Amino acid sequence: MADSNTIDILAIAAHRDDVEQTCGGTLLRMKALGLRTGILDLTRGEAGTRGSADERAAEAAEAGRILRVDVREALDIPDGRVENTYDNRIKIAQVLRRLRPRVVILPYWTGRHPDHYTTATLGYEACFAAGLSKLDLPAECGAPHRPYKILYASLYADVRPTFVVDITPHIETRLQALLAYRSQYGEQTSGAGLFVPEEDIRERMFSTARHYGLLAGVRYAEPFVQREVSLVNDLMQLPVQSL
């Protein structure tokens, strides 16, 4: 059985607040099912337009508390320069061997921000590397481990999701986690063209979640893509009504 330091689901993202924007409700739902969850942010936000890395660390800790994650860590990959290098794959592989998640959530592999789509490839290759017995990492990282399932959070990608997760009971908590990033989202007078005030964030988040919920006949949902086909054992148990 898993020991208390390992987790079931790990969301890996380029920036602090990415997880809150794409799959925070899903982490809350998994937690409600009794699973252990975690977040690995690859950067610390030092290149952000607003807020210092220290401020964002405090905000990330608060958001993680609201999302009820068991683990939240940040690597030291430079913000705005997430690159798929051997060193970066090793950094992530060490975390994967230590936390041993069965499910890893990555950002979708195309998008506007290079850090995001690079994280998809970098994260995938780190998952692969973590399972290689020949990859010689310090023993304290743990034995080789390869996650069973890799999913891509596709909320900001213009693609049809493979499935959505019903987050209806968790939507308010998810919003609170996002709003924990005061330095990014609080009502501010400067830079209004780039940052929207709180009520706009609420409206945007709810309408996006509603859109994905409608695709599956629930109120609010978050979208995911998986590369594998789905396996069905019982046609009678297939969810989502056709007409």
- Positions touching Zn ion (CB under 5 A) are 15, 18
Q: Which residue is nearest to Zn ion (CB)?
A: 15
State in angstroms the smallest separation of the CB of 119 from Zn ion. 9
Nearest CB to Zn ion, comparing residues 141 and 155: 155
State in angstroms the smallest separation of the CB of 74 from Zn ion. 13
| Nearest residue to 77 (alpha-carbon basis) of 104, 53, 110 | 53
State in angstroms the smallest separation of the CB of 178 from Zn ion. 12
Nearest CB to Zn ion, comparing residues 112 and 134: 112
Nearest CB to Zn ion, comparing residues 18 and 59: 18
Nearest CB to Zn ion, comparing residues 15 and 170: 15
State in angstroms the smallest separation of the CB of 10 from Zn ion. 17
Nearest CB to Zn ion, comparing residues 14 and 150: 14
State in angstroms the smallest separation of the CB of 203 from Zn ion. 20
